[in-house]
Amino acid sequence: MVRIDFNRLRFLVIDDNAHMRRILRTLLHGFGAREVYEAEDGASGLESFTHYIPDIVITDWAMPIFDGLELTQMIRQPGANSNPYVGIIMLTGHSEKKHVVSARDAGVTEFLAKPISAKGLYQRIVNVVANPRPFIKTKSYFGPDRRRNANQNYVGPERRKGGKADVIRQSSLLDKVRAPG
C-alpha cells in the first residue's frame, strides 16, 4: 500500500454532527494530518473551502442550509472557486445504490458509508491521493470520471451517449505527500 505523509495535506471536514467531526478529526490526526478544518453545515463549509483551500473535503450528505450534494455541485462549478478539482469524500448513512449514484453524478470523488472505519477512511484518502481520476466535462456534467475502469472498446448498453466529452487529466497529490522510505 502507498505510504502517505499526511502532515502535508489540508483537510476540511463538514458535518452537522459535532461527535462525527471529532471522530474524523481524531482519525485524521492519528494518520498524521496537522491541518484539519471543520464546518457544521454546507454554507459554512463552502465559506471554509474558499478560505482554507483544502486538498481533500470530507462531507456529510444530510446537513442544514444545503446538503453535501449541493455543496459538491457548488464546488464543482468551473470558474466558481479556486479548486473545482478537489477530492471530495462523501459520508452518509444512506448507502443504497440510488444514493451512491446520486453522489457520483454530483461529482463526488469517493463514497464512504457510516459507520466509518479507520481503514475505510484511509483507503478513500489513498484513492484520492494516489489514483486521481481524470475529470470529464460535458454539457451536463463536470467532475471525476464516473467510470473507474474505462474500457475504450466497450459497446454495451451502459456506453456513454451524447456529445463530446473533454477529458482533463489531474496531477496526483502523491508528489506532495509521498512519505520517505
Q: Are 57 and 89 in contact (CB under 8 A)?
A: yes
Residue 88 lies in a domain: yes
Share the mean pLDDT of the chain: 86
What is the structure's pLDDT at 149?
Answer: 58
Q: Which residue has the higher pLDDT, 98 or 154?
A: 98
136 confidence band (pLDDT: 50, 70, 90): confident
Whole-number percent of the chain with pLDDT over 70 = 80
Structural domain of 110: 6-177
pLDDT tens per residue across span 94-129: 888 999 999 999 999 999 999 999 999 999 999 999
132 confidence band (pLDDT: 50, 70, 90): confident
Residue 1 lies in a domain: no
CATH number at residue 134: 3.40.50.2300
Residue 139 lies in a domain: yes
What is the structure's pLDDT at 82?
Answer: 80
159 confidence band (pLDDT: 50, 70, 90): low
pLDDT tens per residue across span 31-61: 999 999 999 999 999 999 999 999 999 999 9
Per-residue pLDDT at 180 exceeds 60: no
3-state SS track over the chain: CCCECHHHCEEEEECCCHHHHHHHHHHHHHHCCCEEEEECCHHHHHHHHHHHCCCEEEEECCCCCCCHHHHHHHHCCCCCCCCCCCEEEEEECCCCHHHHHHHHHHCCCEEEECCCCHHHHHHHHHHHHHCCCCEEECCCCEEECCCCCCCCCCCCCCCCCCCCCEEECCCCCHHHHECCC
Alpha-carbon 134 to chain mean position: 13
Residue 71 lies in a domain: yes
Number of domains in the chain: 1
What is the structure's pLDDT at 94?
Answer: 86
Per-residue pLDDT at 74 exceeds 70: yes
Residue 36 lies in a domain: yes
pLDDT tens per residue across span 117-126: 999 999 999 9
